[in-house]
Amino acid sequence: MSELSIPLVLPVAILTAWALLVLLIAPFFRETPRGVAGLISPWGVSLLGVGFAFAACMKQWTAITAAGETTAYGMVHVDRLGVFTGLLVLGIGFLTLLLSGRFLEREDAEHGEFYGLVLLALAGMIVMVQTTHLMVLLIGLEIFSVTFYVLCGLTRGRARSIEAALKYFLLGAFSSGFLVYGLAVIYGTTGSLFLSEVATAASAHPSTALHAGLGLLIVGLAFKIAVVPFHQWVPDVYTGAPTNVTALMAAATKAVAFAALLRVLVGAFGEAPGLWAPLITWLAIVTMTVANVIALAQTNIKRLLAFSSIAHAGYLLIAVVCLPEHGVTAILYYLTTYAFMTIGAFAVAAVVGRGDAHDERGYDYVRSWGGLGVRRPLLALVMTVFMLSLAGIPPTGGFIGKYLIFQAAVRSHEWLLAVVGSVNAAIAAYYYLSVLMTMWFKPAPDGGGVAFEPLPPSIAALLTFSAVAVVYLGVAPERLIEIARGLAYTLL
């Protein structure tokens, strides 16, 4: 379709317009007002913008057919997979904004551009998932990547924050180079960047050059997904970036990157899995094993969660190799539950952690969580829910997510992946449960630990909603599984 259909691009248009609006009003607010007045601040306006974009995506979900709809000369392709991922990303963005208001005030990092950059990042992510054209996918990826380069350095007085921004920028640019070169090779081989036409060319005229282009594309996406050995940036960036930014990166980036990977591998190259399945298999094994073993030695909660994020990428790669009817369902379910438990865990880390604009000595270390179960039992309780879910222990969504992935491996006769994944899940349980042991059974550090302020209502709402969602998805997963199963055949 050559003409531009406004309803199909409305979520991106809303987010972009709201980002500009937020940047215009930001100079009039030196800090986020408390109470109802906060709703007209950049924080409140940003929440409203994400809500409108979410409503626009919901309208798309009910309006489009199973095959999806196309506009802008085929560059925008809105199907159920893209809308589902867009809704997930917007939900993650909304929860991140709930966390950010009082967190930025406490960290002396209330810069008005933060909210505009978050909205632009969400817009870029939706662009990336609502297309089957590789160039538009690259554009969306670069939009949200550039915003994250800036957001990582938001706490400007901290050396670790500036270091995180610089590392992410350098390695992000490096990975983009692989992507661009891969796209060039694919275009030179097939004469198109539309995934449907690439799929046709891959089936009819496979060539070494096309396989090389696919390999470069996988390497570029592997940096964003953070799989071993392309994970080097994750521990330092997650640790140095502000905790609210880390939460958004950990949950949202993984969701859109895996959606793109599914379109490329299972969609465009699904007829020839022998080209890429062995590579993905060993990437999954190495990623799970290396990340979980290194995580055992971590004493900083953000660094521990960083290696946990890498390990979860390995679990998700298991499902990529499996049969689409099982693997895609498992991935979409797992990404949804992972979003809630990751946002929740980083939100608790943001509440417990302390620092000022320049000094971070002892910031976010697990040992400072001693006695948390006595000092703040409700906070320790919700963190327990998130840790149990990350470990894959019932009755949480994380348990169902791992069960679906290992079940998909068994049904697809991927016995090696099923065994290695199960062993790694057992290894990971140790460091998740060690956090719980510290909170509930170890005394507070000398000096009585951190003196907590009253929990802001926005963060209390975030933690409550996330914990309830994690438990609900573990107790009643049927509806989400049914929705995810219906998306397994709409990749192109």
Domain with 355, as residue range(s), is 6-486
pLDDT of residue 74: 83
> Is 118 inside any structural domain?
yes
> Is 492 inside any structural domain?
no
Q: CA-CA distance, 341 to 370, in Å (whole number)? A: 21
> Is 404 inside any structural domain?
yes
> Is 142 inside any structural domain?
yes
pLDDT of residue 451: 57
The pTM of this model reads 0.92
Identify whether the C-beta of residue 129 lies closer than 8 Å to the C-beta of residue 137.
Answer: no
pLDDT of residue 374: 85
Looking at residue 129, its amino acid is: V
Please, what's the b/e burial string for 343-367 (b: 16 or more CB within 10 A of its CB; e: otherwise)? bbbbbbbbbbbbbeeeebeebbbbe
Model pLDDT for residues 380-422, shown as the tens digit of each residue: 999 999 999 999 998 999 999 999 999 999 999 999 999 999 9
> Is 1 inside any structural domain?
no
Looking at residue 426, its amino acid is: A
**How many structural domains are present in the chain?**
1
> Is 447 inside any structural domain?
yes
Model pLDDT for residues 175-194, shown as the tens digit of each residue: 889 999 999 999 999 888 89
Identify whether the C-beta of residue 324 lies closer than 8 Å to the C-beta of residue 270.
Answer: yes
pLDDT of residue 269: 85
Non-local (6+) Cβ contacts of 54 within 8 A are: 11, 87, 90, 91, 94
* Tens digit of each residue's pLDDT, the chain (492 residues): 457 788 889 999 999 999 999 888 877 766 665 655 556 778 788 899 999 999 999 999 988 877 788 888 888 888 899 999 999 999 999 999 999 887 877 777 777 788 899 999 999 999 999 998 999 999 999 999 999 999 888 887 777 888 888 889 988 888 889 999 999 999 999 888 898 888 888 888 778 888 899 999 999 999 989 898 888 888 989 888 888 899 999 999 999 999 999 998 888 887 777 788 899 999 999 999 999 999 998 888 889 999 999 999 999 999 999 888 888 999 999 999 999 999 999 999 888 876 544 444 444 567 778 888 888 889 999 999 999 999 999 899 999 999 999 999 999 999 999 999 999 999 999 999 998 998 888 887 765 555 566 788 888 999 999 999 999 999 999 999 999 888 877 776
> Is 99 inside any structural domain?
yes
> Is 491 inside any structural domain?
no
